[in-house]
Amino acid sequence: MSNEHNQQKLSSARFSESTDAFVEAFTASIQFDQRMYRQDIQGSIAHAKMLTKVGILNETELREIIKGLQQVQTEIEAGEFNWSIQQEDIHMNIEARLTSIIGLTGKKLHTGRSRNDQVATDIRLYIRDEIDLILSELKRFQTGLIQLAEREADTIMPGFTHLQTAQPVTFGHHMLAWFEMIKRDVERLQDCRKRVNTSPLGSAALAGTTYPIDREFTAKLLGFERITENSLDGVSDRDFAIEFTAFAATLMMHLSRFSEELVLWSSAQFQFIDLPDRFCTGSSIMPQKKNPDVPELVRGKTGRVYGHLMSLLTLMKSQPLAYNKDNQEDKEPLFDTVDTVRGSLRAFADMIPAIIVQKEMTYEAAKRGFSTATDLADYLVGKGLAFRDSHEVVGLAVAHGIKTGQDLSEMSLDTLQTFCDKITDDVFDVLTLEGSVAARDHLGGTAPNQVRAAVARARVYLEEG
Ligand code: ARG
């Protein structure tokens, strides 16, 4: 740590002894909040421009401040900045360095603001930047899902309820279920962005400031859509961080469900898919192993994001107005949420279009488990039976199939007629897997042409979004 940075703490005049070394380290946030350096500098430049506009700083001072802050940014990005625990956090580290570069003018920057509105502004700018990156990664992931859905629009696999074979579905249809979930996640994130994108700058410590500040001006410079309407709320609100983490927890829940299917499907027992080797690792002892590490890890990482959501909710619970030091604890959960979501999404966006579907295996699996039993029941309703009676008839046919090891489509017409004399040889059209999926031909159904129509709608949605 350089000497310049060991200058007195900014707030030390009222103290008669210096802070205990342990307390200093315990209360500091510089170890983690340095990641907001860009947003802090951006916010300070906007604040300085506003102070100049309202006549508190002059143009020369503004130029000095901007130049000094740019130098600070260059030093940080070159890895040359000496972060100091004594300067506690990102705000004071930057301000202290600015003052050491430009002198007295640096000390004027903090006029009319507090670290309380400064940090609230920084976090909002930081989350907004991350939201935009996450939105583009979500789009890449959705694009991959659509590609895979289109490629496998005709591929037949068993559809499950209770993880028991239920009815045949198309693989493309299954992928589009994931697309819908991610679409809702995107909508949630876009909605959250509106509330994130609100400027608390000007709330100062808690009550506003005596200077003739122009809050609309700084908000505009920073790209905020609106400003907070109450200074007490402005410095203490962290709802937006909770909302963001709630979005993240829901997304991770979806990714974890998806991961679970990928893990199951790539197992020797299912063999529905093959994950390219680059997304898997081997075992140090079992030479035959190819482990689906990426989906397993994403499934596992879901827990920490749930934990961060609970941390933030608990952090805010019972806090009296306005700012409290507790709020410093919002950053690590938020940052880790961002890292986890970005990493998981990147892995999924890369992996999904590269999945290899073992069509013969999914087809064979769909043939087992009497997946067309409902089709036979519907067929009998068409022949005049009440659905409950046809359900009973098909139940008997399935019991016979279990005993003889035959699928319904493998039974002779004579055999089928022993269960119901209304069955004729057109029954075999509905007992095939192809017939079964093609018959579910309505919006939201699994028929291949519905999958293609849904893919087309999804493409339009992505282009417009
Ligand atoms: N490091 C602090 C935080 O993260 C900045 C605000 C500190 N404000 C204060 N009055 N101590 O919340």
Pocket of ligand 1 (CB under 6 A): 29, 33, 89, 115-116, 119, 325, 327-328
Per-residue pLDDT of 286-323, as tens digits, reads 878 789 999 999 999 999 999 999 999 999 999 999 99
Q: Do both 374 and 335 map to the same domain?
A: no
Q: Looking at the CA of residue 33, tell me the nearest atom of ligand 1.
A: 4
Per-residue pLDDT of 147-159, as tens digits, reads 999 999 999 999 9
Per-residue pLDDT of 100-137, as tens digits, reads 999 999 999 999 999 999 999 999 999 999 999 999 99
Task: Supply the CATH number for residue 66's domain.
Answer: 1.10.275.10
State the average pLDDT over residues 246-275.
98
* Predicted structure pTM score: 0.94
Whether residue 322 has a cis bond before it, omega within 30° of 0: yes
In whole angstroms, give the CA distance from residue 122 to residue 42. 9
Indicate the angle between helix axes 59-77 and 37-53, nearest 10 degrees.
Answer: 180
Question: Which residue, judged by its Cα, is nearest atom 4 of ligand 1?
Answer: 328
Buried b (16+ CB within 10 A) or exposed e, 63-93: ebbbebbeebbeebeeeebebbbbbbbbbbb
Q: Do both 342 and 201 map to the same domain?
A: yes
- Residue 314 counted as domain residue: yes
- Residue 394 counted as domain residue: yes
Candidate list 18, 136, 267, 283, residue with the active-site label: 283
Of 324, 352, 380, the last residue of a domain is: 352
Q: Do both 262 and 375 map to the same domain?
A: no
State the average pLDDT over residues 330-337.
98
Tell me which residue of 287, 267, 285, 286 sits closest to 275, measured CA to CA.
267
Of 318, 352, 386, the last residue of a domain is: 352
- Residue 446 counted as domain residue: yes
CB–CB of 184/199 below 8 Å?
no
- The pLDDT assigned to 287 comes to 79
Which one has a higher pLDDT value, 415 or 3? 415
CB–CB of 204/116 below 8 Å?
yes
Q: Which two tokens mark 56?
A: 């508190």
Question: What is the span of the domain harbouring residue 82?
Answer: 17-111
* R_g (Cα) of the chain, nearest Å: 31
Distance 115 CA to ligand 1 centre (A): 6
The total number of structural domains in the chain stands at 3
H-run or E-run covering 157:
strand 156-161
CB–CB of 337/245 below 8 Å?
yes
Please count the residues of the chain.
465
Task: Supply the CATH number for residue 285's domain.
Answer: 1.20.200.10
- Residue 158 counted as domain residue: no
State the average pLDDT over residues 343-361.
97
Handedness of CA 284, 289, 295, 299 (dihedral sign): negative
Handedness of CA 266, 269, 272, 274 (dihedral sign): positive
pLDDT exceeds cutoff 50 at 4: no
Q: Do both 135 and 274 map to the same domain?
A: yes
Task: Supply the CATH number for residue 420's domain.
Answer: 1.10.40.30
Residue linked to tokens 């966006």: 349
- The pLDDT assigned to 10 comes to 52
Return the percentage of the chain with pLDDT > 90, whole number.
Answer: 91
Q: Do both 273 and 383 map to the same domain?
A: no
Q: Do both 257 and 321 map to the same domain?
A: yes
State the average pLDDT over residues 21-42.
97
Mutate to test the pocket of ligand 1, among 238, 326, 328, 332 (most ligand atoms within 8 A of CB): 328
- The pLDDT assigned to 14 comes to 85
- Residue 159 counted as domain residue: no
Q: Do both 345 and 427 map to the same domain?
A: no
Which one has a higher pLDDT value, 10 or 79? 79
Q: Do both 237 and 334 map to the same domain?
A: yes
Candidate list 16, 162, 284, 412, residue with the active-site label: 162
Highest mean pLDDT: which range of 53-67, 397-411, 425-439:
53-67
Q: Do both 194 and 305 map to the same domain?
A: yes
- The pLDDT assigned to 11 comes to 59
- The pLDDT assigned to 16 comes to 86
Decide if 91 is catalytic: no
Question: Which residue, judged by its Cα, is nearest atom 11 of ligand 1?
Answer: 325
Confidence of residue 6 (pLDDT cuts 50, 70, 90): very low
Mean pLDDT of the chain: 95
Instruction: Please tell me the least confidently modeled range out of 15-19, 62-66, 129-133, 434-438.
Output: 15-19
- Residue 358 counted as domain residue: no
Q: Do both 130 and 81 map to the same domain?
A: no
- Residue 156 counted as domain residue: no
Contacts of residue 1, Cβ cutoff 8 Å, sequence gap at least 6: 82, 83, 84, 85, 86
In whole angstroms, give the CA distance from residue 214 to residue 198. 15
Decide if 390 is catalytic: no
Q: Do both 274 and 315 map to the same domain?
A: yes
Q: Do both 102 and 133 map to the same domain?
A: no
In whole angstroms, give the CA distance from residue 339 to residue 354. 23
Confidence of residue 226 (pLDDT cuts 50, 70, 90): very high
Q: Looking at the CA of residue 205, tell me the nearest atom of ligand 1.
A: 10
Distance 324 CA to ligand 1 centre (A): 8
- Residue 396 counted as domain residue: yes
- The pLDDT assigned to 396 comes to 96
Distance 27 CA to ligand 1 centre (A): 10
- Determine the residue type at 298: V
- Determine the residue type at 315: L
